Structure 1
Amino acid sequence: MLFGKLLPREGNFFELFNQHGTHIVEGARAFMLMIQNYADLDQREKYANDVVNAERSADRVTAEVNRLLHKTFITPIDREQIHGLINAMDDILDLLQDATETMQLYDVRAMTDEVLRLGDLSAKCCERVQHAVSLLAKISQPATAEAAIKTCEEIDKLESDADRVMRAAMSKLFREETDVRELIKLKAIYEQLESISDRCEDVANLIEGIVLENS
């Protein structure tokens, strides 16, 4: 019996990835609802709290993954891949929370169309991240591996779209915004929102590497 207890174990890493991906989507959707209802102070506060709660829940999952890494002798994929992936996923929610707090601290007057477009692209990226992560447990199957790569390519395209929106938003901001304080606020928010899609692309690149090495 003692020997059985000492046998290497894989741990439930894929399920924890799925849990984290769910929290990412929860946070992204709450963020979108916050900026869509920005004029309503009660709704704004409610959805901002939802973003924070999603981030805290994801932090607990990240801590569990790192704890499990120390207890597991044999992991289903490379240890560095597990560590890199969960931390890259955590960065996404950190940025969603940062953007939420920046809007609250800066007291932005109103959401611009550009904020809404960048927020929408970020939310779509987050949804694709969750989908790609959900496929990892079965990437040994060729069809699943192909689906994961395709989803990663979709994230790359969304990130490119966010880059274009960001450039257009900055150009418009510096041409048309006459209030310097508002310009500074919006510039910071645009940059944070664009960074969310960048972090999603980082996750996509990691997943592509995992798929190529393990399928």
Structure 2
Amino acid sequence: MRFSLRPQDSVFYEYFTKAAENLVRGTELLIELSVPNADVQSVSERLVEVEHDSDAITHELYNRINSTFITPFDREDIYRLGSQLDDVMDHLEAVGSLLYLYGLTSLPSLPREMHDLVAILDQQARLTAESLPRLKAMKDLKEYWVECNRLENEGDRAYRMLLVRLFSGEYDALTVMKMKEVADELEAACDAFEHVSNTVETIAVKES
């Protein structure tokens, strides 16, 4: 039996869980934002509020690290995981803001591939929120990072197909530029989710 001399301060895990749950709220709002006749301004403002809430969680996490002598696992990994969760939310909020500010939701419809990317992000968010509470026990996490990597690969394919669509001549040049910026943020969010899962894998391997 393996014994650990590290304290099992549950508050760190609570911060990670709250941050992950916020990511689900973020992807839910992106789905709502992309629905025809959505109250775009209201949804975008709520997404900004969720992003601010995530910032507050991250700051609380950092303060806790700085005031704790011995952490449950390497403090560098705690910093990294907290920062990466916050990075995901930043990308989600950027997608919502750009869709609103560029007026892209007023188009007859957004490209199907853009909806595909949002759906993949929602899957990644729910997977992350379901898995991070298991970090405390360091058990049953491998399926999480394997599936998150698979979803990231799926997101890459959807992103490439979206680029093909954007440069097919279907849209005018200005709309293409706007949508390309949104597409880049969507792809960056997919990558950021994978970074989170990679860090969880690193922590699990170190603590095993």
Q: Same fold (TM over 0.5)?
A: yes
CA shift, 1:9, in A, is 8.6
* Aligned partner letter, 1:15: E
Number of equivalences: 199
CA contact (8 A) 1:18 1:134 kept: yes
- Give the TM-score normalised by structure 1: 0.88
Give the corresponding residue for 2:44: 48
The separation in 2 between residues aligned to 1:80 and 1:197, in whole angstroms, is 23
Residues 62-73 of structure 1: pairs in structure 2 closer than 5 A: 62-73=58-69
CA shift, 1:107, in A, is 1.3
CA contact (8 A) 1:132 1:152 kept: no
Quick check: 1:169 aligned with 2:168?
A: no
Give the corresponding residue for 2:132: 133
The separation in 2 between residues aligned to 1:11 and 1:168, in whole angstroms, is 43
Residues 41-120 of structure 1: pairs in structure 2 closer than 5 A: 41-42=38-39, 44-108=40-104, 109=107, 110-120=109-119
- Give the TM-score normalised by structure 2: 0.90
CA shift, 1:41, in A, is 4.7
Give SS of 2:59's match: helix
* Aligned partner letter, 1:14: Y
* Aligned partner letter, 1:67: N
The separation in 2 between residues aligned to 1:41 and 1:104, in whole angstroms, is 11
Give SS of 1:82's match: helix
Percent identity, please.
26
The separation in 2 between residues aligned to 1:49 and 1:34, in whole angstroms, is 11
User: In the alignment, which of 180, 192, 200 is matched to residue 199 of structure 1?
Assistant: 192
Give the corresponding residue for 1:25: 24
More helix per residue: 1
CA shift, 1:131, in A, is 2.0
* Greater mean deviation of Cα atoms: 45-54 or 91-100: 45-54
CA shift, 1:120, in A, is 0.5
CA contact (8 A) 2:131 2:144 kept: yes
CA contact (8 A) 1:10 1:72 kept: no
Q: Which has the higher contact order (CA 8 A, sep 6+)?
A: 2
Please tell me whether Structure 1 or Structure 2 has the larger radius of gyration of its CA atoms.
1
The separation in 2 between residues aligned to 1:178 and 1:54, in whole angstroms, is 32
The separation in 1 between residues aligned to 2:171 and 2:97, in whole angstroms, is 24
Give SS of 2:167's match: helix
Give the corresponding residue for 1:152: 145
The separation in 2 between residues aligned to 1:77 and 1:119, in whole angstroms, is 33
CA contact (8 A) 2:124 2:148 kept: yes
Deviations 1:87-109 (A, max 9, x none): 00000000011111111121112
The separation in 2 between residues aligned to 1:46 and 1:212, in whole angstroms, is 43
CA shift, 1:11, in A, is 6.3
Give the corresponding residue for 2:122: 123
The separation in 2 between residues aligned to 1:194 and 1:74, in whole angstroms, is 36
What runs of 5+ residues in structure 2 fail to find an aligned partner? 1-6
